[in-house]
Amino acid sequence: MNARILFIAAAFTAGLFFNSCEKDESIPGPVVTITELGHGNSKTGIAGSDLHIDAEVVAEGRIDRITISIHPEHSHGTKGLNDDKWEVDTTFTEYSGLKNTKFHKDIDIPAGAKPGHYHFTLTVTDMEGQQTAIDDEIEILQP
């Protein structure tokens, strides 16, 4: 009987050990809320000025990087129409390691930026490799 109790106790202890090594909880991906895109949340920018961006970021897996991408909308069947429009691909790492932050940036729009509709993407990547991307449309206007 002693051997039986000893065997059960050893099996129970081993079970606890192996269960404690498993990852019970998965970390959710980043949560991103854009609170302002363009001054007054107008979703517009003026050539020769800046594009105002505010967002709230919560990342349980801690922020690794935040990326802003702005590209012209592509017109189907109009070869070369968007070849000279303004584009942005910028990565920000100063928020790395934070669980939450208020992201605030003003992106310069050159005076020569072509007016029109642009596609905006804000992507947050956490240290677990998970990404959340928020897409929106903005319009660049001439002064």
What is residue 39's DSSP assignment? Answer: G
Cα separation values, 64 from 27, 39, 95, 101, 131, Å? 14, 27, 7, 12, 10
Cα separation values, 27 from 60, 66, 140, Å? 6, 18, 38
Chain-centroid distance, C-alpha 138:
17
CA dihedral of residues 65, 134, 48, 85 (deg, nearest 10)? 100
Q: In this structure, are residues 139 and 46 in contact, taking their beta carbons and an 8 Å threshold? A: no
Phi-psi region of 19 (alpha: psi -120 to 50; beta: other; left: phi over 0): alpha
Using one digit for the tens of pLDDT, what is the confidence trace for 10-57?
666 666 555 544 455 799 999 999 999 999 999 999 999 999 999 999
pLDDT band at 59 (very low <50, low <70, confident <90, very high): very high
Predicted confidence at residue 19, as pLDDT, reads 55
Q: Which CATH architecture has domain 27-141?
A: Sandwich (2.60)
Smallest CA-to-CA distance from 123 within 30, 39, 27 is with: 30
Predicted confidence at residue 84, as pLDDT, reads 59
Cβ count within 10 A of residue 49: 17
Question: Side-chain half-sphere of 118: how many Cα atoms within 13 Å?
Answer: 31
Predicted confidence at residue 134, as pLDDT, reads 97
Using one digit for the tens of pLDDT, what is the confidence trace for 87-139?
999 999 999 999 999 999 999 999 999 999 999 999 999 999 999 999 999 99
Predicted confidence at residue 76, as pLDDT, reads 46
In the chain, where the domains are located: 27-141
